[in-house]
């Protein structure tokens, strides 16, 4: 019961508050802007050479205002914004009319979630192991090389990494395809050739995301484990002739991994942004690619839908990791 009161309830309250903050920010951004999205939308239409009479423009402004939820007073808009959010209704996409926005996002979301999940887990595990080894066994020359590599890879942004990988492995050494998720015209099913095809297309995006994850986790883990190594209990274990391998795996790593879980929750938002960019570079059919098309076509409804859903998804994802945290931290579990 103490766990529920001391950990679960405050965490859930925090979740609701952060969610409220995020959604409120999204709500207010377009309304604080000097330019009116409805006017902008109609201007784009007029610029494309469509002729519209004044009466039609008037009518369209009304319809668009209603579609954007810009009708009525600020409070009324705010309430209806939340109501629409809970019913998952973001209106139709303007450029793929009348497909609902929620359906377009539903088609893209699995690709992004898959990419993000695999690359984050991969980067986290590999980075922590290599960082842990490098931090614990400082003398090893081979492990020091990892340090140098991480130093170089760490500051490079996702899309630059993606472009470098494309040049290397899709253009200079054409091993992997340039973009896409499957060969055009194939439907997904569980046959060997299609799964292999899927893997080939996903390999470079996965690489560009997880390489950076490895570098980041490597560096933080190295620093943490260097500090852990100076703790007294490690020293006692050494005097007590516990095997070096056991000390490393069960004493040092076990304690150093905890801040890394917290780090993962904090950086998830960044990794998500990176995944969106990587998808754009590789034309991978996830949320990022959808967002890119929505921006090009100025599909305002779709952009609002993507932003809102992504923020809800990320905050919920962080909540889930945080709720799993007691599984790893005995101090919280036994309290």
Which residues are at the interface with another protein (CB under 8 A)? 17-18, 21-22, 25-26, 29-30, 33-35, 37, 151-152, 154-157, 159-160, 163-164, 166-167, 171, 265-266, 268-270, 272-274, 276-277, 280-281, 291-292, 295-296, 298, 300, 303-304, 306-307, 310-311, 314-315, 318
Cβ(316)–Cβ(12) under 8 Å?
Answer: no
- In angstroms, give the least distance from the CB of 243 to another protein: 30
Closest to 315 measured CA to CA, from 71, 4, 26, 1: 26
**In angstroms, what is the C-alpha Rg of the chain?**
25
- In angstroms, give the least distance from the CB of 192 to another protein: 31
- Any idea which residue has 């925090």 for tokens? 14
Nearest residue (CB) to another protein, 96 versus 242: 96
Nearest residue (CB) to another protein, 84 versus 194: 84
Q: Determine how many CB atoms are found less than 10 A away from the CB of residue 25.
A: 11
Structure tokens at 70: 């810009």
Structure tokens at 318: 């962080």
Nearest residue (CB) to another protein, 160 versus 249: 160
CB environment 237-249: b (16+ within 10 A), e (fewer):
beeeeeeeeebbe
Nearest residue (CB) to another protein, 209 versus 277: 277
- In angstroms, give the least distance from the CB of 283 to another protein: 12
- In angstroms, give the least distance from the CB of 312 to another protein: 10
Structure tokens at 266: 């904090």
Nearest residue (CB) to another protein, 253 versus 290: 290
Nearest residue (CB) to another protein, 1 versus 173: 173
Structure tokens at 153: 């890879």
Three-class DSSP category at 52: coil
- In angstroms, give the least distance from the CB of 207 to another protein: 17
- In angstroms, give the least distance from the CB of 306 to another protein: 8
Cβ(177)–Cβ(201) under 8 Å?
Answer: yes
- Our CA angle for 114, 297, 60, nearest 5°, is 125
């Amino acid at each position: 019961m103490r766990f529920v009161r001391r950990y679960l309830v405050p965490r859930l309250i925090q979740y609701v508050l952060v969610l409220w903050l995020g959604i409120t920010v999204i709500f207010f951004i377009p309304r604080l802007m000097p330019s009116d999205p409805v006017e902008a939308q109609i201007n784009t239409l007029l610029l494309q050479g469509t002729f519209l009479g004044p009466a039609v423009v008037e009518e369209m402004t009304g319809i668009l205002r209603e579609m954007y939820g810009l009708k009525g007073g600020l409070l009324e808009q705010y309430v209806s914004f939340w109501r629409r959010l809970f019913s998952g209704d973001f209106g139709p996409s303007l450029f793929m009319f009348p497909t609902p926005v929620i359906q377009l996002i539903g088609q893209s979301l699995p690709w992004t979630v898959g990419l993000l999940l695999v690359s984050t887990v991969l980067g986290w595990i590999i980075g922590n192991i290599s960082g842990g080894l490098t931090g614990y066994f400082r003398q090893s020359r081979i492990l020091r090389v990892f340090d140098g590599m991480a130093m170089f890879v760490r500051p490079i942004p996702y899309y630059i990494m993606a472009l470098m990988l494309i040049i290397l492995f899709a253009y200079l050494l054409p091993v992997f395809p340039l973009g896409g998720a499957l060969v055009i015209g194939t439907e997904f099913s569980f046959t060997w050739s299609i799964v292999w095809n899927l893997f080939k297309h996903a390999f470079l995006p996965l690489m560009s995301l997880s390489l950076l994850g490895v570098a980041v986790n490597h560096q933080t883990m190295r620093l943490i484990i260097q500090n852990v190594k100076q703790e007294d209990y490690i020293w006692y274990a050494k005097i007590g002739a516990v095997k070096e391998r056991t000390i490393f795996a069960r004493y040092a790593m076990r304690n150093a991994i905890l801040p890394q879980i917290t780090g993962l929750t904090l950086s998830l938002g960044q990794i998500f942004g990176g995944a969106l960019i990587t998808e754009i570079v590789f034309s991978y059919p996830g949320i990022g690619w959808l967002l890119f098309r929505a921006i090009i076509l100025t599909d305002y409804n779709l952009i609002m839908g993507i932003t809102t859903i992504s923020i809800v998804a990320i905050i919920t994802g962080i909540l889930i990791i945080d709720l799993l945290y007691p599984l790893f931290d005995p101090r919280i579990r036994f309290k």
